[in-house]
Amino acid sequence: MSIRINPSILAADFVNIESALSSISSADLVHVDVMDNHFVPNLTFGPQMVERIQQVSPVPLDVHLMIDDPERWAPGYAELGAYSVTFHAEATDSPVAVARRLRDIGARAGIAVKPGTAIEPYLDILDEFDLVLVMTVEPGFGGQKFMPETMPKLRMLSEAAGRVGSDIWLQVDGGISEDTIGIAAEAGADTFVAGSSVFAADNPGLQIDLLRRAASA
Ligand code: DX5
Ligand code: ZN
């Protein structure tokens, strides 16, 4: 099974984003957290900034939209060339329509669920998505504690994905460190977002290697 490590630039120095990005060139994708201060009580940046980040990033972008109204906003991130675009299940009544639109534009289509959101309604429509993000903290802020109680959702997803032979990525986001990544990997995750554990390290590149090793152990 291939493992992906996607550092979250939420934990990077926003004023020196280009050097932060060059320190993580061994990452698979760069995780970019878009927040609108409505869906979550925090605000980051929008399409213009993401487009610029993409221009200077050594690796493709994994965009995580913590915003209302993904019907309106998500396609723009696919159009600017993001590799994957993930929107929240709680933010839309038409997740399949949003995902189809993202795929039509050429992005991997991801759906995210908060810790309190059930995964069962999505198990039968997994083929509509290329990625499912199980949030392992409440979305909105970096540096929070990993919630192991979200792991049963990954087990259900990995079983359902195995049944249909889907190549869907199972992603976790929040509190991922060398201590927790193995728990998520064991439960079935293959794609790991890590913010503070990567950018707080003296050598972010080395930290990515250590996480990769801990996930495969
Ligand atoms: C939280 C964001 C995360 C955040 C993770 O809402 O979606 O991507 O950056 O940060 P850490 O790894 O510090 O928990
Ligand atoms: Zn995120």
Structure confidence at residue 217 (pLDDT): 83
Rounded to the nearest angstrom, the distance between the alpha carbon of 174 and the centre of ligand 1 is: 5
What does the alpha-carbon distance between residue 31 and residue 34 come to, in Å, rounded to a whole number?
10
Q: Is 8 annotated to bind ligand?
A: yes
Homologous superfamily, domain 4-216: Aldolase class I (3.20.20.70)
Is 13 in the active site? no
**What does the block give as tokens for 208?**
């990515």
pLDDT tens digits along 115-136: 999 999 999 999 999 999 999 9
11 lines ligand 1 (CB under 6 A): yes
Q: Could you give the ipTM of this predicted complex? A: 0.99
State both tokens at 99. Answer: 């995902």
Tell me what pLDDT residue 182 has.
98
Within 10 angstroms of residue 124's Cβ, the number of other Cβ atoms is 10
pTM: 0.98
Tens of pLDDT along 188-212? Answer: 999 999 999 999 999 999 999 999 9
pLDDT tens digits along 179-190: 999 999 999 999
Mutate to test the pocket of ligand 1, among 29, 173, 178, 192 (most ligand atoms within 8 A of CB): 173
CA 139 from chain centre, in angstroms, equals: 11
Ligand 1 atom with the shortest distance to the CA of 40 = 6
User: Which has the closest alpha carbon to 173: 1, 43, 33, 37?
Assistant: 33
Identify which ligand lies nearest to the alpha carbon of 138.
Answer: 1
Helices (H), 23-94: 47-56, 70-79
Please tell me whether 88 is known to bind a ligand. no
Query: 134 - beta bridge partners?
Result: 113, 172
Mean pLDDT of the chain: 97
